[in-house]
Amino acid sequence: MRLITRRLVSLVLTLFVASIAVYGALFLAPGNPATLLAGGRATPAVLREIERQMHLNQPFITRYWEWLVGVLHGNLGQSYVYRVPVTTLLAGRVENTIFLVVYASIVIILGGVILGVTAATRRRVSPIITVGTSIGLATPSFVAAIISITVFGVDLKWFPVFGAGSGFTDQLWHLTLPALALATSWLAYTAQLTKAAVREELSREHVETARSRGIRARHVLTRHVLRNAMIPITTVSGLTVAGLIAGDVVVEQAFGVNGLGSFLVQAALQKDFASVQAVSLILVATFVVINGAVDLWSLALDPRLRAGASA
Amino acid sequence: MSVLDLEHLAVDLPVEGRLRRVIHDVTLSIAQGEAVGVVGESGAGKSMTSRAVLRLLPHGATVEGEVRFEGRSVMAMDRTALRDYRLSDVAMIFQDPRAHINPVRTVGDFLVEALVERGDAKADALRVVTALLGVVGISDPQRRVKQYPHELSGGMLQRVMIASALAIEPKLLLADEPTTALDVTTQSDVMVSLDTQRRERGLAMLFVTHDLELAAAVCDRIAVMYAGFLVEDIPASQLHRGVQHPYTAGLLASRPSPTVRERRLFAIAGRPLSAYEVGDGCGFASRCAFANDRCRSERPALRVVGASRVACHRSEELSGQLSSHNIREATHD
Amino acid sequence: MTSSLASRGPLSRVRSRRSGSRVDTVVVVTGAFIALLVITAVFAPWIAPSDPNFGSILSSNQGPSAAHLLGTDSFGRDILSRLIYGARLSLLGPALIIVISTSIGTVLAIACAWFGGWFDQVVSRVADILFAFPGLILAMLAVAMFGPGLVAPVIALSIAYTPYLLRVIRSEALRQRNLPYVAACYVGGLSARTICTRHILPNVTPLLIVQATLSFGYALVDLAAVSYLGLGVQPPTAEWGIMVSTGQSSILAGHPQESLFAGVMIIVTVVAFNLLGDRLAARQSTGQS
């Protein structure tokens, strides 16, 4: 229990510092946001008025504090470009992003583990999977995107290549290619990792014990090999989460999916600071929180770790 | 009737794509309730012999000869028969319980696994194994079954392993150096526990060890292995009265006696040979003080000499010369 | 794709059964490919068959032909020439990222190992927080601050890659620092700087090379992603990420060649760096054991 508290405290601290970094980074940017907000021609008086309205004349600490309090109350600030609350702009987009990332995660976990176990246990297909995963690992999500658009979208016309669709089945249909593109490299990574972990476990003495006792091969695989191989696979899945969050930005852009990622790209190009801050914070916070959850999940998986960490 | 028969067992393992012989020729029987100690240096093929009994060989291994359990060929068993055989007839106690018990599952899970696999209800199985933990000398069994392996000492874990073997009520126990990985102080406790339970239940046992004295203490017969050959099979009671094979004599001589102060510790000259290095003659010829030309060119067959079986051309000539004292003298000259 | 890929590290535990002294085909082939790529990039003006920025609308979107071996893009420019010129920025950017992040990472890592204490604590904490920022997100923050281009993303990605390299090198430097020879040097009166630069640094160098090689591929992917998103160098500059992006509009019209060839170049280059890094790592671990 104390262990969990300690992890939570460190998680909140990381989030806090990350929020300062996100906010501070743009504070340091050259140029006056007021000029941007005022548009083309603005008298010094108008600029001062905007600065007053947006609290741009306040010191950094005050402005950061106001922003943070706002964020904690669900107010992510006012878009500099669209002059509406960022939350309004994000509504509807968040859903697409979550759908896409969850879809890709399922593909990665299922595909990666199945391929990895197959590569580890079937000697014949193992080399094929190894070559395939090496190429997959080196395939950036946007290259995977254009390949899948070319093959499945244009040549075979199986899937749409643009937009996110509406309603569950339509969304599923629209987001299949984006999810596959997003999953490619991480699926390959998970497969290689699973293969290595399963091979390692298969050679362990306790697996020999289970075999010697007449435990069915299927049960040996699930209860001992996979169960134990889950530990290294889980430990690095935090990386996969970071990869998915960053990859999401690229894939949304590639398929014209209206989500957080494509919004962030737009906002960055338009120097819409409030929006960039808001989305970056959401993405970073998501990563930190999921990583924390992964951490706790590894503790749950490995009793030795529990003992070592609480000692 | 014998529980286990090994008939001219030979095993090859794949090493870097080629088959390499690890066991040449082992013929051995274990009667009901009998304990046989398999003794030899590391690499002699002892462990592989015990694994062959369970058909627990690495992928790609080939086996010649036969392993029979109660007359049935183990090598010919189909998958279901093999599973039933492992589930109910034979139980193995491994050398290093820390490595041989899954570290992320509870002790209770480990103990009931085979029983549940066999179809017992989990609650019943748990009752059985908890009682068994008490029998093998573990205090507070109710608490132990909920713990993880890392929370138990090595000695306790080996008792858990013994309990798991007893749980399936097998007819034959295989013990592969069951005390070697333990602290010296707990070795004898664990060994006594294993020995007591085996005798009470009248189980047959194949006991693999490099410790000749220990084998003699807990076994009825000793089978000595060298470089993949069974070189001598002798009643434990005969061990100090008259061994027939120079290698067995060498093993006996190389144990320093705590009561006699030696001028110099004895060791069998030369390097132990691996099974695949053996040429045409006797595997031990290169290190034997009594070897002659015939020993180096013709492989001796296992034959009955008195109460023993021995694979040595010169065992009759040498009878009486193989005392520890003579061995030491013969070697030092 | 993100900087966190850099820490994926070598996956293969495969120990080559061949002895280390014999020539390793994988190292030779991948090394030769990478060398060839670098030569092509450097001598692009002499090697490229046509001007990468000149094209005629009349000859747009042509398939492969004798005049244009890989065809032309939507502006009628020769794709092969653009790939050849594109290799320059596509390789230079990641090279800068790796040089900057390994330099900073190594200096900090050795300093952490040497001083320990609060310095080590502070650096490690800062690195921990940087881990929370996927490289691409940092790059986008940088672009929002300073505008698109090569410089801002390269600096941002360098910062994002540093903690990964720092962590790997720090543990090795720490191991070296605690070996008896360092104490012997110290007792022998060598200065801290001499010990660090003459003894610890050379001993972490093999690991450094492996990590830099493995990270290179991922830096290439990340930077190409930045260009693809339109946040890096801008068209009409020839660069592989940009080519994938500009070619995308022609895919729907049935002319995928520009995007596909640029994408394949990225994949092949990254595979080469990964294989080389993996193999170097495997050789290193066999050498140690």
Tell me whether A247 touches chain C (CB under 8 Å): yes
Asked if pLDDT for residue A288 goes beyond 60, the answer is yes
pLDDT value of position B250? 83
At A134-148, the pLDDT tens digits run: 999 999 999 998 898
Q: Which two tokens stand for residue B153?
A: 């000492």
Record: contact A147-C263, CB cut-off 8 A? yes
Residue C61 domain flag = no
- Bond before C236 cis per omega within 30 degrees: yes
In the DSSP assignment, the letter for residue B51 is H
Please report residues of A whose CB lies closer than 8 A to that of C7.
239
Q: How far apart are CA C81 and CA C52, in angstroms?
A: 5
Instruction: Pick from B59, B102, B176 the residue to mutate for testing the A interface (most A CBs within 10 Å).
Output: B102
Distance from CA of C185 to the nearest CA of A (A): 35
At A168-190, the pLDDT tens digits run: 787 787 888 999 999 999 999 99
Q: How far apart are CA A264 and CA C141, in angstroms?
A: 9
| Facing residue for C260 by CB, picked from A146, A271, A284 | A146
Which chains touch C (3+ CB pairs under 8 A)? A
The pTM (predicted TM-score) of the whole model is 0.83
8 A C-beta contact, residue A147 and residue A67: no
If DSSP codes are grouped into helix, strand and coil, which group holds residue A169? helix
Please report residues of A whose CB lies closer than 8 A to that of C140.
249, 264-265, 268, 276, 280
pLDDT value of position B113? 92
Instruction: Tell how strand B72-73 and strand B62-69 pair up.
Output: antiparallel
pLDDT value of position B263? 61
Instruction: Tell how strand B172-176 and strand B18-31 pair up.
Output: unpaired
Asked if pLDDT for residue B258 goes beyond 70, the answer is no
Range of the domain at C243: 27-47+78-288
Element (H, E) at B104: none
pLDDT value of position B259? 64
* pLDDT band at residue A38 using 50, 70 and 90 as cut-offs: low
Q: Hey, which residues 39-68 in chain A have their CB within 8 Å of chain C? A: none
- Residue of chain B minimizing CA distance to A227: B104
Record: contact C228-A253, CB cut-off 8 A? yes
Q: What is the CA radius of gyration of chain B?
A: 21
pLDDT value of position A179? 92
DSSP labels, B148-214: -GGGS-HHHHHHHHHHHHHHT--SEEEEESTTTTS-HHHHHHHHHHHHHHHHHHT-EEEEEES-HHH
Non-local CB neighbours of C270 within 8 Å, separated by 6+ positions: A138, A139, A140, C217, C218, C220, C221
Record: contact B100-A307, CB cut-off 8 A? no
Q: How far apart are CA B140 and CA B137, in angstroms?
A: 10
Q: How high is the mean pLDDT of chain B?
A: 87
Map tokens 């700087």 to a residue. C193
In the DSSP assignment, the letter for residue C9 is -
pLDDT value of position A271? 83
Q: How far apart are CA A286 and CA A101, in angstroms?
A: 12
pLDDT value of position B101? 93
Percent of chain B with pLDDT over 70: 95
Instruction: Pick from A143, A262, A270, A287 the residue to mutate for testing the C interface (most C CBs within 10 Å).
Output: A143
Q: Which two tokens stand for residue A133?
A: 């995963």
Q: How far apart are CA B206 and CA B173, in angstroms?
A: 6
Tell me whether A146 touches chain C (CB under 8 Å): yes
- Residue of chain C minimizing CA distance to A290: C132
Strand partners, B222: B37, B234
Map tokens 């191989």 to a residue. A229
Residue C22 domain flag = no
* pLDDT band at residue B228 using 50, 70 and 90 as cut-offs: confident
Q: How far apart are CA B178 and CA B191, in angstroms?
A: 8
If DSSP codes are grouped into helix, strand and coil, which group holds residue B22? strand
User: Cα dist. C45→B306, C48, C59, C94 in Å?
Assistant: 94, 6, 22, 21
Going along chain B from its start, the domains and CATH numbers come out as 4-223 (3.40.50.300), 238-332 (no CATH)
Please report residues of B whose CB lies closer than 8 A to that of A203.
none
8 A C-beta contact, residue B311 and residue B232: yes
Nearest alpha carbon to residue C259 among C245, C272, C273? C245
Residue with more model confidence, C108 or B333: C108
* pLDDT band at residue A308 using 50, 70 and 90 as cut-offs: low
pLDDT value of position C9? 42
From first to last of its 289 residues, what are the pLDDT tens digits of chain C?
333 444 444 443 344 444 445 678 889 999 999 999 999 999 988 887 877 777 777 777 777 877 777 777 777 788 788 888 888 999 999 999 999 999 999 999 999 988 888 999 899 888 888 887 888 888 988 888 888 889 999 999 999 999 999 988 998 888 888 888 888 888 888 888 888 888 888 888 888 999 999 999 999 999 999 999 989 888 888 889 888 888 888 888 778 888 899 999 999 999 999 999 988 888 877 665 4
Q: Hey, which residues 251-270 in chain A have their CB within 8 Å of chain C? A: 253-254, 264-265, 267-269
Distance from CA of B102 to the nearest CA of A (A): 5
Q: What is the CATH number of the domain that holds C145?
A: 1.10.3720.10
pLDDT value of position B73? 92
Q: How far apart are CA B154 and CA B96, in angstroms?
A: 8
Element (H, E) at C183: helix C180-187
Tell me whether B150 touches chain A (CB under 8 Å): yes
Instruction: Tell how strand B204-209 and strand B35-39 pair up.
Output: parallel
- Residue of chain A minimizing CA distance to C256: A150
Record: contact A146-C259, CB cut-off 8 A? yes
| Best-predicted range by mean pLDDT (B12-21, B26-35, C43-52) | B26-35
Element (H, E) at B120: none
Distance of CA A174 to the CA centre of its chain: 20
| Best-predicted range by mean pLDDT (A39-53, A55-69, B130-144, B283-297) | B130-144
Distance from CA of A3 to the nearest CA of B (A): 19
Number of independent structural domains in chain C = 1
Nearest alpha carbon to residue A202 among A126, A131, A134, A300? A126
At A261-286, the pLDDT tens digits run: 999 998 888 888 888 889 999 988 98
What is the mean predicted confidence (pLDDT) over A1-14? 82
At B67-101, the pLDDT tens digits run: 999 989 999 999 999 999 999 999 999 989 999 99
Nearest alpha carbon to residue A288 among C102, C137, C140? C137
Domain ranges of chain A: 90-310
Residue C20 domain flag = no
Asked if pLDDT for residue B10 goes beyond 70, the answer is yes
Residue C15 domain flag = no
pLDDT value of position C103? 94
Looking at the domain that runs over A90-310, which CATH code has it been given? Answer: 1.10.3720.10
At A188-243, the pLDDT tens digits run: 999 999 999 999 999 899 999 999 998 998 999 999 999 999 988 888 887 788 88
Strand partners, B67: B6
Please report residues of A whose CB lies closer than 8 A to that of C2.
242-243, 245-247
* pLDDT band at residue B331 using 50, 70 and 90 as cut-offs: low
Mean pLDDT lowest among A49-53, B18-22, B61-65: A49-53
pLDDT value of position C13? 39
If interface means Cβ-Cβ distance under 8 Å, which residues of chain A face chain B? 204-206, 208-216, 219, 223-224, 227-228, 231, 301-304, 307
pLDDT value of position A1? 66
Q: Hey, which residues 12-51 in chain C have their CB within 8 Å of chain A? A: 12-13
For B44-64, letters b (16+ CB in 10 Å) and e give bbbbbbbbbbbbbbeeebebe
